[in-house]
Structure 1
């Protein structure tokens, strides 16, 4: 038997005992050590997550240890290997997957969202979804998926060297987007409503420019930062209708807008302004397998430092009582669940 935390309904977790799973052919049995808590989990807890059904075992940002692999083992995994989990289960025969867009597969199933995830002592996953690292610890491995989401948004935006990139939101996904945009040589501007998070961006990530989204003169501040212009790349990960609609006003001519967050509803914008600026609007969903490889390598080489990201920890058995406190933590960057030492 093993311990599992299940979200029965919005606002209510239960700690239960389940049978330890047995891997099917092509699957690996892994021991879960860390589970990162992200906006998807918080929205599911509050009842505001699209594409979601209850009850559900959450958890898709995972740092795990290989216990055994049954059958096909394309990556040569061995017991004891430390891995990050690529939680996106796609149909390789779908049109999108055949086109290389596995992250946008029509029949996408995400662990912890469409199927049960990692808030459990053990889970089984396809062996080819495990990304091994001999250097990273379980905290770092649990952060990889978050970083991949931000990295993929930057891949979508394709910023040029010296281009002004506005990243709206300063949560973990946004921080990853900021760091990868910096790596492309872009000039990054952080925007959030939380001054502590903006301080973290400046002091820890080295972001030189930041703006509080509650300011009354956002456009003037951005023009001052951008030498009289407005940003030509905007990445919005807020999932907030007002923020997302406001991006069209803050966008410079020729701007590429990437919506990384989502909400249940419709986005509206002024069509003449959209055409006059010749804006490009893109969605960014999940990440590609090669993005995991890129992110792990960047952390291993020290180009991404996540050492100060984890600001709250909880034990698996404490989740039903403690989880509701996550959004209210002052200075919160990332909360993780410690399932095993």
Structure 2
């Protein structure tokens, strides 16, 4: 089978590898049809991804077809089209036992800690597969990135009484916007890239957009929310300055959720934090319930994936095109690798 391997930063190679179809009773053999390209892949290509080793087959945003199942598999059948939950964990971990496998102490993520989906076939435990007889492979590949935003919105318990600010209009921020809107909240987005800010305002029914380089962000938010500040702030930037500034933008009694992360320390003014009685949360990965919620929402038409995919490539063209996707001038929202 054909596979694309990132041998070292900046060096993809297409190689032929044997298909491992020796299935354990709980496994399924999967044929990969679509792979979404995410920030993790871009950082790995640039040599900036933490907890990463080379060589590695990238890809954890997947739309796959079940071609064979182990003897104990009951949740999927041959021919099913599925999304993949790409987080393998140890059931004995404390977080897993408490119903939070998304933040397990011992976790292996496809395309990061183990080889991922940029290959024609691979096997994986069937319990991590989520079938749909209505969604396309494109849509199924978007379930995982949508799951990151969905989980953050669920963590914050967003509801129709909330004013929500999403900071950062990359793919994760877009997912957070969609699920905050679906929860009935009034939503604004803050973004320094004028193209992405305009994209959000064109695609979604937002309260408005905030450009912090234009004028005071707090005043812009009060203008959008009838004099109020947001009760929920979802920061999807992974930028230290943005994450620390978010404390100033949130209303008293509000909830601040960090979706993005960076390798460093976040600091804040403790008296102001206490005065507002803020709730600060991290959000990592997604839960099985999030995957099921997203599939159901797309099937019912509550969530649309139409705005997402802006660039495509095949296995024969991706290596040459990947450099362009790293360049912000290419205006990539979501690139998709079409394997079959």
Answer yes or no: same fold by TM over 0.5: yes
Runs of 5+ unmatched residues, structure 2: none
Aligned length: 338
Q: How far apart, CA to CA, are the structure 2 residues paired with 1:224 and 1:73?
A: 54
Q: How far apart, CA to CA, are the structure 1 residues paired with 2:267 and 2:214?
A: 22
Q: How far apart, CA to CA, are the structure 2 residues paired with 1:308 and 1:161?
A: 24
Runs of 5+ unmatched residues, structure 1: none
Q: Who is 1:82 aligned against?
A: 81
Spell out, residue by residue over 1:315-340, the C-alpha distance to the aligned partner (whole angstroms, 9 max, x if none). Answer: 12323221121133544211010111
Q: How far apart, CA to CA, are the structure 1 residues paired with 2:336 and 2:249?
A: 34
Q: Who is 2:32 aligned against?
A: 32
Distance apart, 1:23 and its partner CA: 4.0
Q: Give the 3-state SS of the residue equivalent to 2:142 in structure 1.
A: helix
Distance apart, 1:296 and its partner CA: 0.3
Q: Who is 2:278 aligned against?
A: 279
Native 8 Å contact 2:29 2:67 kept in 1:
yes
- 1:201 is the counterpart of 2:200: yes
Native 8 Å contact 1:30 1:66 kept in 2:
yes
Q: Who is 2:317 aligned against?
A: 318
- 1:305 is the counterpart of 2:304: yes
Q: Give the 3-state SS of the residue equivalent to 2:143 in structure 1.
A: helix
Q: How far apart, CA to CA, are the structure 2 residues paired with 1:45 and 1:259?
A: 24
Q: How far apart, CA to CA, are the structure 2 residues paired with 1:11 and 1:276?
A: 48
Q: Who is 1:169 aligned against?
A: 168
Q: Who is 2:70 aligned against?
A: 70
Q: How far apart, CA to CA, are the structure 2 residues paired with 1:277 and 1:154?
A: 21
- 1:338 is the counterpart of 2:333: no
Distance apart, 1:83 and its partner CA: 0.5
Q: Who is 1:125 aligned against?
A: 124
The ranges of structure 1 where at least 4 consecutive aligned residues each deviate by more than 6 angstroms after the TM superposition are none
Distance apart, 1:32 and its partner CA: 0.5
- 1:265 is the counterpart of 2:267: no
**Residue correspondence of structure 1 range 207-226 to structure 2 within 5 A:** 207-226=206-225
CA RMSD of aligned residues (A): 1.3
Spell out, residue by residue over 1:266-285, the C-alpha distance to the aligned partner (whole angstroms, 9 max, x if none). Answer: 11212222122221111100
Spell out, residue by residue over 1:110-162, the C-alpha distance to the aligned partner (whole angstroms, 9 max, x if none). Answer: 11111110011111111111100000000000000011111000011112313
Q: Who is 1:142 aligned against?
A: 141
Distance apart, 1:215 and its partner CA: 2.5
Q: Who is 2:43 aligned against?
A: 43
Native 8 Å contact 2:207 2:225 kept in 1:
no
